[in-house]
Copies of this chain bind each other. A is one copy, B any other.
Amino acid sequence: MPVNLKPLTIDSIFPIKGISLGSAKANIKKPNRKDLLLITIAKGSKVSGVFTQNAFCAAPVLLCQEHLKNTSGIRALIINTGFANAGTGEEGILMAKETCQAVSAILKIKSEQVLPFSTGVILESLPIDKIRNGLSDTLKNLDPTNWIDAAEAIMTTDILPKAESRKIKIQDKEVFITGISKGSGMIHPNMATMLSFIATDASINQSLLDKMLKEVTQQSFNCITVDGDTSTNDSFILIATGQAGHHEINHEGKDYEILKDAILEVAIKLAQAIVRDGEGATKFITIQVESGLNNIECKKVGFAIAHSPLVKTAFFASDPNLGRILAAIGKAGIESLDITKIQLFLGNILVSEKGSRAFSYNEAQGQEVMRHPEISMRILLNRGKAKVTIWTCDFSYDYVKINADYRT
C-alpha cells in the first residue's frame, strides 16, 4: 500500500478557471477502467512543457515538442493509458497525429493545438479506433471540477490517484493552482516525470512560465526515483490560463516568487506522491545531501543511495545495515572525496563519521528509526555549501511481483 498517501477529497482540490476535464472507459488495454482523459484549455492560455531525455522517447513526446513551438495556441491535452506508443517508429508518429486529429475534429480546433500523451506498455501499437470511440464520452463529462476523476483516469500501476492544490494571493486577487500526476514504476525522471499536469489561473508571460517550469522541475520531479529507470514518456506540463484577474507577471519579482513557490509546493507533493505510491513501496525515504561542492555532486550521492538495491532492500527489512549507505556514497564517483569528513545521520542519530561507525551510535537507535514508514537521512559532505533533497522508496517483494506480472 502507498506510504502515508491519503485518498483525495473533492473539497481539497480546486478547479482552475479555463480548464475542463473529461474521462472515459475506452477499453484501450483492459476493460472497464478509465483510460482516456481529455483536458481542454481556454483560449489565450500559455503552456510550457519538459519531456524525457530518454533517446527512445515516445511518439507523443516528439509530437508534443513539435506542437509546443506555438505555446500560446495549445487548446487541449489528450492522455491515454494502456500503451505508451513508444518503440513504435513511423507508425507511432502517425497514430499520435491521428489522435490529435480526432480531438481537433470534436473540439473544432487545429490538430497542432492538441498535445498527446500516452503511458503503458512499450513496443506495442496504439489502438487508435478505441481512442476515437472513447473521445465522445470524454466530451460528455467535460467539467472544471473533474480533477480527481482525471487523476484516476491516468493511473496505470498506481494504487491511488495523485492531485494537489494551492490557493495564493497575487496583487490581492485569489490565484489557484491544481496539478495531477501518475507514475509508480520506471521512475527516475530525467527532465520531468511520467505524466504530470499542473494548471493555474495566474497570468504570466511565456518566457517566465518556461523558466519557472525548469526551476520547479529541478527541485521536484527530477529529485525522485523508484527504480532508476527513466521512462520513454516522461512529460510535465504547466498551464497558465491567465483568468485570475491580476496583471500579467512579466518580471522576476515578488509575484513571480509567490507563484513559483506555490507551484513548487504542488510539484513536490505530486512528486512525493509518486514515490509514496512507488511499486511495492513500504517506506518513504528522504535523502538530504548537504555541504557539497555543488548540486551535481549532491544529486550524484543522493541518487547513488536511492538507486542501490542493497540499501533499498535493507530499508524494506527495517534493518539498519548502514554500511550499505557508505558503500553507495563511495561508488557515487565523486572526485577527491575525503570520506573521513563525511557524517551520516539516520533521523537525528549520528551513525557514522571519520570513515567509521560513530562512537555514540548503537544498533538499537538505528532500529528505532528504521521501523517507521517515513525515514529521513542526512549526509554531510562537509566540503561546500550545496544541498539537495532526493525522495525514494524501498525495494520489496511486491516490486518484483508487480513487474514480473505487469503484462499479464
Interface of A is mostly: loop
- A329, closest chain B residue (CB): B56
- A327, closest chain B residue (CB): B232
Q: Which residues of B contact A356 (CB under 8 A)?
A: 87-92, 123
CA A314 to CA B406, docked complex, whole Å:
8
Q: Are B309 and A227 in contact (CB under 8 A)?
A: yes
**A133 interfacial by beta-carbon distance below 8 Å:** no
**A308 interfacial by beta-carbon distance below 8 Å:** yes
**A400 interfacial by beta-carbon distance below 8 Å:** yes
Number of copies of this kind of chain in the complex? 2
Q: If the complex has contacts A400-B395, A406-B319, A406-B321, are A309 and B56 also in contact, measured as CB distance less than 8 A?
A: no
State the Cβ distance, A281 to closest chain B Cβ, in Å.
13
**A53-64 CB contact bits vs B (8 Å, 1 = yes)?**
111110000000
Q: Are A232 and B326 in contact (CB under 8 A)?
A: yes
Q: Which residues of B contact A57 (CB under 8 A)?
A: 330
Q: Contacting A330 at CB < 8 Å: which of B56, B321, B328, B401?
A: B56
Q: Which of A16-24, A31-39, A158-166, A332-340 contacts B (4 or more CB under 8 A)?
A: A332-340
Supplied contacts A90-B356, A230-B327, 19 more A-B pairs, CB within 8 Å: A54-B327, A54-B331, A55-B337, A57-B330, A89-B340, A89-B356, A122-B321, A123-B357, A228-B307, A228-B309, A229-B308, A229-B327, A230-B330, A232-B327, A309-B309, A314-B403, A314-B404, A314-B406, A321-B407
Which residues from chain A sit less than 8 Å from chain B, CB to CB?
53-57, 84, 86-92, 121-124, 185-186, 188, 190, 227-232, 307-310, 313-314, 316-317, 319, 321-324, 326-332, 334, 337, 339-340, 352, 354-357, 395-397, 399-401, 403-408
Closest 8 CB pairs of A and B: A122-B323, A89-B356, A56-B330, A123-B323, A317-B404, A313-B403, A54-B330, A230-B331
